[in-house]
Structure 1
Amino acid sequence: MSDNKRTRIPRRGPWRRRRRWVAGAAGLLALLTLVACTSTITGQAKPAATSGAGGSQLSDRTPISTPGQSAAADSAGYTEVYPGIVANTVQLDSVQKAAELRRIDPCALHDVAAAAQSTGMTPSSIMPTPKLSSCTLDVSPKDNPLDEYALIINVGTLFSPKVEAQEKTQHGGVDFFRINSPIGDSSQSCTYVKKFSERFGIDLTVSAHTSSKTKDTCQIGAAYLDAVAKYWVKPATRADHISTPVLSIAEFDPCAALSTPAKSLGRKVTPLVSEPFTCSLLPTEIVPGEKLIASGLVQLSVHLKSENRDGDNAPKDYKVTSVTVAGHKARQREFTDHHGSQKCELAVQIDTDKVALTADATSQAVRPDVQTFTASSPDCARSTQALESALALLG
Structure 2
Amino acid sequence: MRKTSLTIATALVLAIGGALTACTGDSDTTAAQEHDGSGSWLDQVLPRLTASLPPSTPGQPQQPDTSPGAGATTQPPGPPPPPATPADATRAKLRAIDLCAMHNPPAATTIVKGEVADSLLPSDDFNDCTLNLHRADKLVPDYTMAIGVDAVDQDTIQQGQPLQIAGLNFYSRQQTGTNDEHETSPCVVYLPQSDGYALYLQVEPPIDPVDGAMHVCDVAVAYLKATAERWRTPPTRAEHRTDPALDLAAADPCAATGILTALGGGRVAHADLHQCLYASPRQSTDGTGAGAPLKMVDVRYELDSPDTLTGDDDATYKQAAIAGMPVAQHDSHSATQGCLTLFRIGSVSVTIDENSSEPPWVQIVEVTAPTCALSSQAAAAVISTVR
Q: TM-score, structure 1 length as denominator? A: 0.70
Is the Cα–Cα contact under 8 Å of residues 161 and 171 in structure 2 kept in the other structure?
yes
Aligned to 2:5: 16
Is the Cα–Cα contact under 8 Å of residues 98 and 275 in structure 1 kept in the other structure?
no
CA offset digits 1:304-356 (Å, max 9, x no partner): 11112658254xxx95333322222222233499xx923222110133xx322
How has the CA–CA distance of structure 1 residues 388 and 311 changed in structure 2, closer, same or farther, with 3 Å as cutoff? closer
The residue type equivalent to 1:331 in the other structure is A
Shift of 1:374: 0.7
How has the CA–CA distance of structure 1 residues 15 and 200 changed in structure 2, closer, same or farther, with 3 Å as cutoff? farther
How has the CA–CA distance of structure 1 residues 388 and 284 changed in structure 2, closer, same or farther, with 3 Å as cutoff? closer
Is the Cα–Cα contact under 8 Å of residues 151 and 205 in structure 1 kept in the other structure?
yes
Gaps of 5+ in 1: 1-13, 20-33, 52-75
Is the Cα–Cα contact under 8 Å of residues 154 and 203 in structure 1 kept in the other structure?
yes
How has the CA–CA distance of structure 1 residues 194 and 382 changed in structure 2, closer, same or farther, with 3 Å as cutoff? same
| 1:336-375 mapped onto 2 (5 Å cutoff) | 341-351=336-346, 354-363=347-356, 365-375=357-367
Aligned match of 2:132 in 128, 138, 144?
A: 138
How has the CA–CA distance of structure 1 residues 384 and 253 changed in structure 2, closer, same or farther, with 3 Å as cutoff? same
Aligned to 1:94: 87
Question: Matched residues in 1 for 2:374 and 2:5: separation?
Answer: 33
Shift of 1:384: 1.6
Gaps of 5+ in 2: 20-52, 58-77, 286-290
Shift of 1:205: 1.2
The residue type equivalent to 2:367 in the other structure is A
Aligned-partner SS, 1:198: helix
Shift of 1:370: 0.5
Aligned to 2:79: 83
CA offset digits 1:89-132 (Å, max 9, x no partner): xx933322111111111111111111111222211121222122
How has the CA–CA distance of structure 1 residues 78 and 237 changed in structure 2, closer, same or farther, with 3 Å as cutoff? same
Is the Cα–Cα contact under 8 Å of residues 106 and 153 in structure 1 kept in the other structure?
yes
Is the Cα–Cα contact under 8 Å of residues 90 and 195 in structure 2 kept in the other structure?
no
CA offset digits 1:249-288 (Å, max 9, x no partner): 232111112x00112322341x222322111124563446
Matched, 1:193 2:182: no
Aligned to 1:312: 312
Question: Matched residues in 2 for 1:332 and 1:230: separation?
Answer: 45
Question: Matched residues in 2 for 1:50 and 1:166: separation?
Answer: 36
Question: Matched residues in 2 for 1:264 and 1:18: separation?
Answer: 41
| 1:27-176 mapped onto 2 (5 Å cutoff) | 38=10, 44-49=12-17, 83=79, 92-120=85-113, 121-141=115-135, 144=138, 146-176=140-170
How has the CA–CA distance of structure 1 residues 146 and 311 changed in structure 2, closer, same or farther, with 3 Å as cutoff? closer
Moved more, 239-248 or 178-187: 178-187
Shift of 1:200: 0.9
Aligned to 2:37: none
| 1:256-271 mapped onto 2 (5 Å cutoff) | 256-257=255-256, 259-269=257-267, 271=268
| Identity among equivalent pairs (%) | 24
Aligned to 1:224: 223
How has the CA–CA distance of structure 1 residues 93 and 343 changed in structure 2, closer, same or farther, with 3 Å as cutoff? farther
How has the CA–CA distance of structure 1 residues 93 and 312 changed in structure 2, closer, same or farther, with 3 Å as cutoff? same
Is the Cα–Cα contact under 8 Å of residues 166 and 179 in structure 1 kept in the other structure?
yes
Is the Cα–Cα contact under 8 Å of residues 170 and 191 in structure 2 kept in the other structure?
yes
Is the Cα–Cα contact under 8 Å of residues 56 and 265 in structure 2 kept in the other structure?
no
Shift of 1:50: 8.7
How has the CA–CA distance of structure 1 residues 171 and 335 changed in structure 2, closer, same or farther, with 3 Å as cutoff? farther
Matched, 1:394 2:386: yes
The residue type equivalent to 2:245 in the other structure is V
Shift of 1:235: 1.0
Aligned to 2:203: 206
How has the CA–CA distance of structure 1 residues 311 and 224 changed in structure 2, closer, same or farther, with 3 Å as cutoff? closer
Is the Cα–Cα contact under 8 Å of residues 85 and 262 in structure 1 kept in the other structure?
no
Q: Report the RMSD for the aligned CA atoms in angstroms.
A: 3.5
Aligned to 2:28: none
How has the CA–CA distance of structure 1 residues 17 and 223 changed in structure 2, closer, same or farther, with 3 Å as cutoff? farther
Is the Cα–Cα contact under 8 Å of residues 329 and 339 in structure 2 kept in the other structure?
yes
Aligned length: 320
Question: Matched residues in 2 for 1:255 and 1:202: separation?
Answer: 21
Question: Matched residues in 2 for 1:184 and 1:157: separation?
Answer: 28
Is the Cα–Cα contact under 8 Å of residues 264 and 280 in structure 2 kept in the other structure?
no
Aligned match of 2:276 in 279, 283, 293?
A: 279
Aligned to 1:56: none
Shift of 1:238: 0.9
How has the CA–CA distance of structure 1 residues 273 and 183 changed in structure 2, closer, same or farther, with 3 Å as cutoff? farther
The residue type equivalent to 1:361 in the other structure is E
Aligned-partner SS, 1:232: helix
